[in-house]
């Protein structure tokens, strides 16, 4: 609904924020956009990943799906973001399996990561502080939960994977933040004109 796009929020601690987010979950236009972002994540998975040699035996891979997940969170809101995260992880596994068995823990990480993007960027202009905090939270998820899932699947110690993941995410945090700031600010005027993002210059603002 276009009227939901005419209000901005200083924070997600507002009843109106969550009412708008729930209304967007029932909005066919928003659901179609979320489906498009799932397709974008699958397409981005075919791009060559960035390889980071952290140890002699471990090479980290940085993929590009976070770009589409962030856009989805900003446009679709936190309620849709949770469903998107589960659907995107499942569809990506089916379309491009890694060879490992399906593990639901990674779907949970994707769901929570997209949720954090939404909490910081839905109903708001994608400023550098908001984008940085959103990416910082998702990086923290990657370290804590990602290390837990790797430890469960491999049998190696949690701290081993947490240490490796920490340095990987720390190195990529400024790079990924810059990429998101450039992408979101390029898309923001277009999304505003399409009624898919709240224009702070025209919309009323609601705080806590």
Q: Give mean pLDDT, residues 116-130.
A: 95
Look at residues 90, 94, 128, 124 and name the one whose alpha carbon lies nearest to residue 109.
90
In this prediction, residue 205 has a pLDDT band, given cuts at 50, 70 and 90, of low
Confidence at residue 207, expressed as pLDDT on a 0 to 100 scale: 47
What percent of the chain has pLDDT above 90?
A: 66
* Burial class of residue 173, CB neighbours in 10 A (0-12, 13-18, 19+): middle
Look at residues 103, 113, 50, 52 and name the one whose alpha carbon lies nearest to residue 81.
113
Confidence at residue 32, expressed as pLDDT on a 0 to 100 scale: 97
> What is the second-level CATH architecture of the domain 2-198?
Orthogonal Bundle (1.10)
Residues with Cβ within 8 Å of residue 55, at least 6 apart in sequence: 164
Q: Tens of pLDDT along 58-82? A: 566 778 999 999 999 999 999 999 9
Q: What is the mean pLDDT of the chain?
A: 88
Structure tokens at 197: 């993002």
Q: Tens of pLDDT along 6-24? A: 578 888 988 999 999 999 9
Confidence at residue 164, expressed as pLDDT on a 0 to 100 scale: 87
Confidence at residue 98, expressed as pLDDT on a 0 to 100 scale: 76
């Amino acid at each position: 609904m276009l009227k939901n796009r005419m209000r901005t929020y200083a924070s997600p601690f507002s009843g109106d924020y969550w009412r708008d987010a729930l209304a967007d979950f029932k909005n066919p236009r928003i659901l179609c956009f979320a489906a498009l972002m799932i397709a974008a994540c699958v397409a981005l998975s075919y791009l060559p990943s960035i390889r980071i040699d952290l140890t002699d035996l471990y090479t980290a891979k940085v993929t590009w799906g976070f770009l589409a997940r962030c856009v989805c969170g900003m446009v679709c809101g936190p309620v849709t973001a949770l469903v998107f995260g589960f659907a995107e992880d499942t569809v990506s596994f089916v379309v491009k399996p890694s060879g490992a068995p399906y593990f639901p823990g990674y779907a949970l990480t994707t769901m929570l990561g997209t949720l954090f993007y939404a909490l910081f960027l839905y109903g708001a202009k994608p400023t550098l502080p908001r984008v940085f905090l959103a990416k910082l939270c998702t990086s923290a998820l990657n370290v804590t939960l990602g290390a837990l899932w790797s430890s469960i699947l491999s049998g190696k110690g949690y701290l081993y994977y947490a240490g490796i993941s920490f340095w990987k995410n720390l190195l990529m945090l400024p790079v990924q933040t810059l990429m998101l700031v450039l992408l979101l600010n390029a898309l923001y005027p277009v999304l505003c004109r399409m009624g898919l993002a709240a224009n702070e210059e025209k919309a009323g603002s609601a705080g806590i």
